[in-house]
């Protein structure tokens, strides 16, 4: 239907997750949190929804890379949590391809959730708020690349 580039559903080989779990978790946790803070500073995230995130503990796991990140939102900033002593208020778990498809707005989060490709556990209302907050973000449009002849086939 569309000739646009699409992200396929894929699962990385098992050894990557077992390797990933042995690597330090802080680099990608910091990258994720830095991205969230940039999005906030660019005023892409709605303030009324952000206040609802105060002091909540979030956990994101990428199943097939073994990557994990815990973070919270406090005093207007997303902050990493390296040692958590309580259960997260909201936890996401999915393969890398599902996260990429979500970010690219290629797949619907409800579809991924009901197909069990995206697991969301914890406070359901908070999960819905985060989902709707991300859906409402107007990502800045990137400069359009010149169309290749192949795209017009």
Partner 1 sequence: MNPLPDLVCPAGSLPALKAAVDNGADAVYLGFKNDTNARNFAGLNFDTKTMADGIRYAHGKGREVLLAINTFPQAGRTGDWHKAVDAAVDLGVDAIILADIGLLDYATHKHPQQRLHLSVQGSATSYEAINFCQREFGIRRAVLPRVLTLAQVEHVINRTTVEIEVFGFGSLCVMNEGRCWLSSYACGESPNTVGACSPAKYVKWDKQPGAMETRLNGILIDRFGDDEAAGYPTLCKGRFDVLGETYYALEEPTSLNVLEILPEILKIGVRAIKVEGRQRSPAYVTQVTRTLRAALDSLCDGNERFHVKPAWQAELAKVSEGNQATLGAYNRPWR
- The contact set with partner 1 (CB under 8 A) reads 1-2, 46, 48-49, 52, 105-111, 113-116, 119-121, 124-133, 135-138
Cα gap 72→26, rounded to integer Å: 14
The nearest distance, CB 24 to partner 1, in angstroms, is 27
Cα gap 102→135, rounded to integer Å: 9
The total number of residues written for the chain in this structure: 153
The nearest distance, CB 104 to partner 1, in angstroms, is 9
The nearest distance, CB 105 to partner 1, in angstroms, is 5
Closest CA to 67 of 117, 17, 101, 10: 17
Neighbours of 112 (CB within 10 A): 20
Q: Which is nearer to partner 1, 30 or 136 (CB)?
A: 136
Q: Which is nearer to partner 1, 21 or 124 (CB)?
A: 124
The nearest distance, CB 115 to partner 1, in angstroms, is 6
The burial class, CB within 10 Å (0-12 / 13-18 / 19+), for 135 is exposed
Cα gap 92→148, rounded to integer Å: 37
Q: Which is nearer to partner 1, 82 or 135 (CB)?
A: 135
Place of tokens 């973000």: 137
The nearest distance, CB 36 to partner 1, in angstroms, is 15
Cα gap 150→26, rounded to integer Å: 41
Q: Which is nearer to partner 1, 37 or 93 (CB)?
A: 93
Q: Which is nearer to partner 1, 64 or 107 (CB)?
A: 107
């Amino acid at each position: 239907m569309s000739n646009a580039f699409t992200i396929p559903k894929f699962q990385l080989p098992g050894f990557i997750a077992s390797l990933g779990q042995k690597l330090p978790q802080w680099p990608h946790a910091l990258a994720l949190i830095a991205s969230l803070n940039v999005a906030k500073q660019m005023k892409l995230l709605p303030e009324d929804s952000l206040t609802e995130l105060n002091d909540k503990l979030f956990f994101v796991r990428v199943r097939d890379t073994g990557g994990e990140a815990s973070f919270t939102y406090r005093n207007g900033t997303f902050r990493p949590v390296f040692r958590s002593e309580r259960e997260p208020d909201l936890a996401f778990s999915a393969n890398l391809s599902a996260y990429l498809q979500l970010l690219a707005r290629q797949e619907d989060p409800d579809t991924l959730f009901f197909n069990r490709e995206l697991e969301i556990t914890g406070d359901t209302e908070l999960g819905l708020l985060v989902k709707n907050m991300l859906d409402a973000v107007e990502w800045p449009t990137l400069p359009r690349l010149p169309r290749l002849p192949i795209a017009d086939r």
